[in-house]
Structure 1
């Protein structure tokens, strides 16, 4: 989880409010996760 947050927080990112999530996920939203799983033929 720390690595994902570090990759989102560097000088080339717009920045903003980034609260600590209650549950870890690589993806910020469900749509991105579902699209990735669909592209990888995963359920």
Structure 2
């Protein structure tokens, strides 16, 4: 497509959508929850 196929008006606001991937913090929280559940459900010896 050519650039002039779309008409943009500089005075009108526009929306920018940013996507973020899950970081190391989310991974660590998930690992901690998983470890806690593993300890709760581990067989007692």
TM-score (norm 1): 0.28
More helix by share: 2
Which protein has the larger Cα radius of gyration, Structure 1 or Structure 2?
2
Relative contact order (C-alpha < 8 Å, sep 6+): which is higher?
Answer: 1
